[in-house]
Amino acid sequence: MIKRLSSWISTLRMEEEGADLIAYLFGKAFMSRLDRSRMEVMNLYLRQHDVPQIELFNLLCSKFPVAMAAGTIANRCLVNAAEGADSLKLLEIGIGTGRQIVLLIQSLAAMNKPPVSLTIHAIEPDPASLGSAEASVRKAAEEAGIHLDFHGCARTMEDVEAEFWNDIQASDGRLLVNAAFSLHHVHGGAPDAARKILLSRIHSLKPTLVVLCEPDSDHFVRDVRQRFAESWRHYSNVFRLIDQCDITAQEKRSLKIFFSREIEDVLGVPETDRVERHERTASWIQRLQLSGFEPANPLQTQDLLSWPLLARRIDEWHVGLSEGNINLVSIICASSR
């Protein structure tokens, strides 16, 4: 098996044939699963095109239509839910470096009646990113004239202590919750149970709106054959969308290499260590319902912008962003009411 896979991979021509790159990345993921000793040779190709992670992330946010649309739609939902509130509090799960929340604060400031105060309870496992996020968010709030209280927690969701949740409960304001591409990382040894516990805990806080941005693909299933079929469907369409973008060939290659890390995690990493455990949109909605949530899509007619290369699917629970007939990412909205 390993020899046949290695022989097949050696026939791929990533420079001449664009379609060969995704085959190479999937082959690399399976080789990682079967024989990690061969990975050094396979990584040589990717290192030739290595770009710092922060540059790849900024490229994703500024040039990849799905990421751009998801962030814009999520923020629009949050702004609509904030209408009329003098005091807001935001539970931000996976704030990263704060890019989306800076844009959210700017949108809040542009409202006819902006909130007077905003309390942010931010969870981010990487302390450096959390520090950068706090600095950026404080600057944005100062420029917007909105009083800000910022409470950061440099832990994974599973390790957040009871005191953090108590502080959210005790703070003033209408509660909004935002989780952009973060809840699929929740693991804790029993991912399904951990996610149920998390959503039940969030429901107990009685938020006005919860917004989840999540890929619509089942990489949660344990059977690697099913996971391969799901991930091939998802990432082949992601790569097809990238190829249609009006960006340079190098930028397209860089975006694909950004997603290569997800592919390797989904298929090549041992089950106990995987972190990219995406689920289908229907599974997230079912779990929200079981936790007591109701649908709460707050988009208004004027919010339904069109995005180049993307089709939209809208219902009471979510907005889906599709390439052709394949939904790639969903923005899911729920309320505790």
Q: What does the pLDDT read at residue 279?
A: 94
Structure tokens given for 116: 């007077």
| CB environment 74-92: b (16+ within 10 A), e (fewer) | bbbbbbbbbeebeebbbbb
Tokens of 324: 């052709």
Q: Mean pLDDT over residues 214-227, rounded?
A: 92
What's the token pair of residue 9? 């991979």
| Helix pair 281-290, 191-204: axis angle to 10 deg | 50
Give the separation between CA 287 and CA 129, rounded to whole angstroms: 29
Local structure of 298: helix, strand or coil: coil
pLDDT, average across residues 104-127: 96
- Which has more pLDDT, 216 or 192? 216
Is 0.95 surpassed by the pTM of this model? no
| Residues 245-288: tens digit of each pLDDT | 999 988 888 888 888 888 988 988 888 888 899 999 999 999 99
DSSP summary character for residue 123 = E
CB burial readout 173-184, b (16+ within 10 A) else e: bbbbbbbbbbbb
Burial letters 186-205, b for 16+ CB under 10 A, else e:
bbeeebeebbebbbeebbeb
Q: DSSP secondary structure string, 236-265?
A: HHHHHHHHHSSS-HHHHHHHHHHHHHHHHH
What are the distances in angstroms from CA 248 to CA 15, 112, 255? 14, 40, 11
| Amino acid 30: pLDDT | 65
Q: Identify the residue whose tokens are 């919750």.
A: 177
Helix (H, G, I), strand (E, B) or coil at 153: strand
What pLDDT was estimated at residue 250? 84
